[in-house]
Amino acid sequence: MADMNDKIIEAFQFRHATKRFDATKKISEQDFTTILEVGRLSPSSLGLEPWKFLVIQNADLRNKLRDISWGAQGQLDTASHFVLALARKNVTSQSPYVQHIIRNIKQYAEETIPAVEKKYDDFQTNFHINDNERSLVDWASKQTYIALGNMMTSAALLGIDSCPIEGFDLDAVTELLKSENIIGADDFVPSYMVAFGYRETEPKAKTRQPQADVIEWFE
């Protein structure tokens, strides 16, 4: 698959954290549908999909975010499409959400459910997921970063630029989303933002550690 190998590496060289986009260029509906679909179809631990993707196109909401997101200002002003990803809180076997996934989405047979719940509980203990409320939500947040990589890579394959953003006041954004009734007290927390569009200027060269510093073979 020489051709696809080249296309993939080219996409990774093309992708960079775009600070400002060309505000006159809009991503086509077909391309952005693919990007969102890639988020939705991304894998997650136990297949629990502990996420939600908000597409923030409303100018008033973008402005409110802008004031509390120092790392997203150029992107909020210019991005064709702007996503705020949420991570779900309290993803434990007995939660209404996990029960919904087990019963209505995965549709496990009723008699198998106790074993599924025990598997989830044992796994969360062995992997130190539910040590505390913060570690539990950080685990859900990790899953949303799988979708983040996938959405940015798919965008790059389509010639679309992106920028992942953690540069915001987490407390203030959480409060804003609550005050706008976008999240409740106990359902979601902001995980990251990611902007999509077309670059305004060419980026500086990418820097990375050499392969020998990040990859080790045991043969």
Find, among 145, 130, 52, 54, the residue nearest to 90 by Cα. Answer: 130
Among residues 23, 26, 67, 106, the one that binds a second copy under rule CB under 8 A:
106
Q: Does 134 bind a second copy (CB under 8 A)?
A: yes
SS3 191: strand
Contact 44, 51 (CB under 8 A): yes
168 contacts a second copy (rule: CB under 8 A) = yes
Q: Of these, 20, 22, 53, 116, which contacts a second copy (CB under 8 A)?
A: 53
Burial 183-206 (b: 16+ CB within 10 A, else e): beeeebbbbbbbbbbbbbeeeeee
Helix (H, G, I), strand (E, B) or coil at 193: strand
Q: Per CB under 8 A, which region of 54-62, 72-80, 110-118, 195-203 contacts a second copy?
A: 54-62
Segment interacting with a second copy, rule: CB under 8 A, options 18-26, 72-80, 109-117, 136-144: 136-144
Residue 111 or 204 with smaller CB distance to a second copy: 204
Nearer to a second copy, 186 or 219 (CB): 219
User: How far apart, in whole angstroms, are the C-alpha atoms of residue 81 and residue 61?
Assistant: 13
Of the candidate spans 18-26, 53-61, 109-117, 195-203, the one that interacts with a second copy by CB under 8 A turns out to be 53-61
User: Does position 17 bind a second copy by CB under 8 A?
Assistant: yes
